Structure formats: C-alpha cells, structure tokens
Chains A and B, each alone.
Chain A
C-alpha cells in the first residue's frame, strides 16, 4: 500500500530496511541465542543518523516526528524485534525530555541522543506497579538543590546499556499519582545500580534489568517539568510512543509473513509448492490483510501525533492493541505454515512468535488498552 511518505521518510525507510537486511538479519539468530546487547548494530544505526530522525534539527536531529520513528522501528523489527528495541527503547526514554524537558535539558541531552552517542531508557514499572502504575513505591526526597531517589524499577528496557534514564518517582507520597515527578538520571550517578539481566522468552537481544536507586542524588536541575507532573509526563510519553510499539508489532508480523511466503513458494509437497494449495493461500491472504490494516492504523495515529492532535489516548491504544494482536496471530500462523520446520530453531519464524508476545504485554497490556479505548468511547457518548 502506498502511504504517500515524504521524500525524506522514503529515504529513512529505505536506509532502515537496508541496515535491517544487510546488518541485522544475518546476526539476529546469534544475538537471540547469546542474549547479548547488539552494540555493533547500535553503532551502525548511530552512524546512519537514524537515532535522530524524530529529534528537531535545532538539537542535531533530522526534524521528523513519530511517523519517522515508526518507520525505522518497523523496518528494524522486520529483521529482529529484540535488536529493534534498543532503538525503540531509546525513543521511549527520550520522549519525556522531548515533550516536557526545559530548553537547557534538551540542549544538554538531545544532541547526544540524536547522534546515537548515548542511548536512553524509561523507568516507570515496579514490582507492584505494573498495570497499576499508581501503586509505585520509588520516592524522590528534595534536599537543598538535590533530590534523593530510593526504590527499584523493574523490567527496564536498555537498563545498563543506556546512559540517560528518565525516571518517575513520588515526590509527595500523600498526593498519590499527583505527587509523582519525572527526573533525568545519568548512568554512573552514585547510588544507581542495575540488577541482573532478565532471561526472557523473546526479544532476547534487548537488555531488561532492574534499576535500583539507593540514596541516589540527582541535581534538582534534572527534574522534568514541575513537581507533581510525573504522571502526566508518563502518560503523555506512553500515548506518544504507543504507535512505536504498534510499528514494532507490524515489523515483527511482516518479518514472519515474509518468511512464510518465501517458504510456501519453495516447499514442495504432493509434487507442488504448498503456495498452490488454497488452504495455505487463504492463510497468507488473511495474514497480509491483517498486517496492512495494522500498519495503516499505526501510521494514521503516528501522523495524528505529529500533526499535534491534543488527545490521542484512545487511538494510540487502539493501534498498539490491534497491531500487537495481529503480530501474535500472524507469527503463530507463520509457524503453522512452516509446519515442523517452523517449530525448529534452525528456522527463524519461531523467534518471531516469541518476540511477538511481548508486544501484547508491555507499555500497557492489551487488557489495559481495551479499558482505555472503552472508557473513551463511553465518555464520548456521554458528551453527546
């Protein structure tokens, strides 16, 4: 389908695709196996300026938006959803600064991120604060011109590898969610440590660890926006980044579908390629249609964000929910089309299936997304 990309977006997509095909695809299985973080690939992405596509030119970026970020995430995910997360996770960690940071904060951090010199991470989730983010325990106590952070963030993408962390912590416990604030914490700050690397089902090339704060002193200048704005920063960040998760899901689905189509054309049974059987054709047709629908929704929402539409909560929840469900279904079907080979780790599709699952879970489970969508729909009817 022709999404009428701008010339610059076409260039971005083509370059991301070239890197995915030439640099990521050949090493995807190896990183999945070793569970290492793919630094050599991050270096390639950095040299190619891809980290800067959504950062304004004033801060050394290319001046594009979330749509540009989605194009890159999708193409990289088509080769490896795990390696792509090093990129997408940096986007998530950058958004609080981009959306709510002060001029000084933007000047200080965005140019390094745009150049891919430093990766970023977003720290919200805790052991007892998953879907119920309001139940967080991490605190930030103001002392002079510093905040003292205490608490443990869990399952943080890029933890240990990133150098810039945007952290949500409570500055006023009594106020509940209205007492949360957002901070920028740099790796190497005293009192900041990382837990062991989690062993995951999929996206194994991505780093997932705890970020532990023990009397961690952060300069007051690193407070994003004002005290008490932490939850708004987090929600706005997630609303803006959800099309990115959708794009990751679309990429994973497309990657699995590519393999399924290729395989069906070369696999011969009963004397002919299995692509000539209607049972297989109908599966492929459904998969292709679903992927395209997911892509269309993800791009539409990304463009809404870039156009400055005020509230995109419902639409971005829809895109994330739909695309991730499609990714799971298409990946499962791709395994089915490859049959016994699909189940073997010698072939790449079982990895797509493992990678797809997380997109239904993180950045708000699909159940939470449905709550959001339904709540908006009901609210909208009440207004009428």
Chain B
C-alpha cells in the first residue's frame, strides 16, 4: 500500500511570545516544529504500513529548512521524504497550496491513501486536505478518528462530528484528514533518527511538477491579505476575594446577565 502523509512545518506555539510594547509576535528564536495535528497523521500512516505493508512517503511544501520536518517524519517511521520548494510557490494560499501538493502527489508513483492533519496550527484553515482531494478528484473523509477496517480497495472509518461520529465506507484511493483522537503518536526511535540523518530528501521545484505556472504561488492564489493588525489584548479584570461563600455570592450577582 502506498501511503502519503502531507505535513507542514509551523512555529512552535509553546514558544510564541508577544512583545508587550509593540503587541506583536516575537518570532526570533521560535523553533519550527511539525504541525501538531500532522503528528497524528504521520503516526496513522506508519500504523497503516505496519498493518497492511507498503511504504510511507512524507510530503511537504515549504522553504528549504522544511527538510528538517521531513527528516523528523522519517525518524518517526516514514520511509521517504519529498520537499516541494521554490520561490515560485511563495504567497500560496490554500487553493494554490493544495494544487501544488496535488501536482506533487501525481508525480509520485501511485498512491492508495493520503493522510493529512485536520488543520495546521498556524493557519487553522482545514482547507488544504479537502483541496488536495478535490484537485486529485478522489473521495475523502475529514476528521477521521478511527480507521476501523481497511483493505486494498475499501476502508471503513469513523468521522468525528459535533454530536458523536459517523461511520463511513470509502473506496481507495482516498484522502483522510485525522483528529487527535485517532492515536497517540510514538516517540521517535534512535534507529529511525539515524536513518533520517542519512536519508536523502527529494527536492522538487515548480519545473519538476506538471503544473500550470499561473496556478502557483501568489498568482494562483485567489485570496490576498490586505491588512494585518493586533487585536486589542484582553485585559485582566477584577479579582474577587473573600470566603468561599462570599465569593460565590458575589459571582452569582456579577454573572446575572450571563446566567439565566
């Protein structure tokens, strides 16, 4: 089974600090990590390989330094890594990103399952996974919390909903976006890390892809940012003190409007 896992390198939010004076993000010294949701996709890809045999290819689009994310993915059990990187991809929104990744996937030798995290922690759009499946014209299930059954041809999965979950049957090849509940990612292994160290990451530019140049990067992106601003920081409010009963009474009074 050929499994592809699409990942993204994002700034580590545990590191994110706000400059108290300018109220902007301090990005200096912020580590880059694999998008937390993609860690579940990587783990599920590796588990699928352990379950059905085959090969896992990790794929990312990003700057040259995103290679580190692919190496980490290999350390976690992926077999190969492909970095799609070119200045021509700069300014891609989710439309152009999913188009570029779909073109890269078509260049790989076949695929049965594509896995993505449900969204990235820096953009939070949840659009790239469905975008890829649409460009490739394959079926998808989003928010997958369990792959109950899977063969070469068919999978039965559980898709998380607001109220519970749906059980969905889907033919392969297909795309899944996965939620945290699907697994507990393993720690990297030393042997995997050593394999990663010497692993050669394929690097593809726009020219390597069979892509329409007008659909790449900023040119291929329908959306554009016109303004970026810092929201007014929420101010800490009033502290209430007193005995438990006094505090509870005061709260009941203060929250009259909210609690009906």
Question: Which residues of A are at the interface with B, using a C-beta cutoff of 8 A?
Answer: 8, 11-12, 15, 18-19, 22-23, 44, 47-50, 52-53, 62
Contacts and interface: CB of A to CB of B under 8 A. Distances in A.
Interface in B142-201: 186-191, 193-194
Contacts of B191: 49, 62
B194 A23 contact: no
Contacts of A12: 190
B190 A19 contact: no
B190 A18 contact: no
A89 B149 CA distance: 40
Greatest chain A CB density within 10 A among B187, B188, B193 is at: B187
A213 B194 CA distance: 43
Given A47-B189, A48-B189, A52-B190, 16 more contacts: A8-B194, A11-B194, A15-B187, A15-B188, A18-B187, A22-B187, A23-B187, A44-B187, A47-B187, A48-B186, A48-B187, A48-B188, A48-B190, A49-B189, A49-B191, A50-B190
Contacts of A15: 187-188, 190, 193
Interface residues of B, number: 8
The majority secondary structure among interface residues of chain A is helix
A47 B186 contact: yes
Interface string B67-110: 00000000000000000000000000000000000000000000
Interface of B: 186-191, 193-194
A11 B186 CA distance: 17
Greatest chain A CB density within 10 A among B188, B190, B191, B194 is at: B190
Contacts of B193: 11, 15
A17 to B, nearest CB: 11
B81 to A, nearest CB: 18
A-B pairs, 7 with minimum CB distance: A49-B190, A48-B187, A49-B189, A48-B189, A49-B191, A47-B186, A19-B187
10 contacts: A8-B194, A11-B190, A22-B187, A44-B186, A44-B187, A47-B189, A48-B186, A48-B190, A50-B190, A62-B191
A19 B191 CA distance: 16
Contacts of A22: 187
Contacts of B186: 44, 47-48
A270 B189 CA distance: 48
A12 B189 CA distance: 10
Nearest to B187: A48
B73 to A, nearest CB: 16
Nearest to A43: B186
A62 B194 CA distance: 10
Contacts of A8: 194
Contacts of A19: 187
A15 B191 CA distance: 12
A50 B189 CA distance: 8
B111 to A, nearest CB: 27
Contacts of B188: 15, 48
Contacts of B190: 11-12, 15, 48-50, 52-53, 62
Contacts of B194: 8, 11, 62
A218 to B, nearest CB: 33
A48 B194 CA distance: 12
B43 to A, nearest CB: 11
A164 B188 CA distance: 26
A18 B72 CA distance: 14
A19 B193 CA distance: 15
Contacts of A44: 186-187
Contacts of A48: 186-190
A19 B194 CA distance: 18
Nearest to A22: B187
Nearest to A23: B187
A135 to B, nearest CB: 42
A79 to B, nearest CB: 14
A23 B188 CA distance: 13
Contacts of A47: 186-187, 189
